[in-house]
Structure 1
Amino acid sequence: MAIQGLELAKACANAADDIQADKIRVWDLRGLSNLTDFMVVCSGSSMPHLRAVLGGIRGDVDEKHGAKPVNAEGNADTKWVVLDYIDVMVHVMHVELRDYYGLEDLWADAKEIDWKS
């Protein structure tokens, strides 16, 4: 069985880190969101970087943990991609869009997870 929840969120964050994604953050949304339990947000600085981060997360998490997203919205050209693993949503965003949409402010009540531990 594939990993889920906090373990999966940390695996996604570590995979993003391996491909040098920027500003990786993980939030526990349990009790705050009906959509998902955990959210991972990271940034890329260019189109090739966004593609590499997406490929790195998908490939690494599938290879090491047998987990594939059930859905993906957007692509590198839209500068914002959401990988939906049901209990974990991974947002890979271009730095400019991330600043513009301010997800950090939207989920200010969520507990941030130390994913490196």
Structure 2
Amino acid sequence: MSKEKKVAAPKKSSVTRLTRSSKIVKTIIHAIQEKKGENIISLDLRKIPEAVADFFIICEANNNTLLKAIADFVEKEVKDKCAEIPYKHEGKIAQQWILIDYINVVVHIMMPEPRKFYQLEEMWSDAPMMEHKD
């Protein structure tokens, strides 16, 4: 008789658990602030089992040039200061919503209209939210 092996779904590593004071989180928020991103918030998803990351960082840009500039600067600063490159990024072509995925932290840089439409803050309303002002 062969025994069936149960394979557990991959989980976020507890060793790499982040906090809002983690270097990568601070670096991302500072980079967004430096490039004048607006309405910056972070959502702490660590206590939500179905969440794909520990944190979402969400901000707005008022035009396509600024949207791309914020995304590029976030990637540069995280690479320079944290020695990390994104697992993936999406949206640089359409330039309405750029997503940068660092596995445990996902950055959403959005134009105002898609942000209002998708309402990520509402979708993840169980997560503690923090606003980040200059």
What is the identity, as a one-letter code, of the residue corresponding to 2:35?
I
Greater relative contact order: 1 or 2 (C-alpha under 8 angstroms, separation 6 or more)?
Answer: 1
Alignment correspondent of 1:92: 109
Q: Alpha-carbon deviations, 1:66-106, whole Å to 9, x = none?
A: 12111112215341111110000001111111011111111
1:44 matched to 2:57:
no
The 2-side partners of 1:51 and 1:30 are apart by: 28
Structure with higher helix content: 1
Provide the secondary structure at the position in 2 that maps to 1:54: helix
Q: How high is the sequence identity, in percent, across the aligned residues?
A: 29
| Alpha carbons 2:40, 2:131 under 8 Å: kept | no
Which residue of 86, 107, 111 corresponds with 1:69?
86
Unaligned runs of 5+ in 1: none
- What is the RMSD of the two structures over their aligned residues, measured on CA atoms? 1.9
The 5 Å alignment of 1:6-85 reads 6=19, 7=22, 8-32=24-48, 33-75=50-92, 77-85=94-102
The 1-side partners of 2:45 and 2:79 are apart by: 23
Q: Whose Rg is larger?
A: 2
Provide the secondary structure at the position in 1 that maps to 2:56: strand
TM-score by structure 1 length? 0.87
Unaligned runs of 5+ in 2: 1-15
| Alpha carbons 1:28, 1:111 under 8 Å: kept | yes
**CA 1:103–1:34 in 2, change beyond 3 Å: closer, same or farther?**
closer
* Count of aligned pairs: 114
Runs of 4 or more above 2 Å deviation? 3-6, 113-116
Provide the secondary structure at the position in 2 that maps to 1:5: coil
Provide the secondary structure at the position in 2 that maps to 1:26: strand
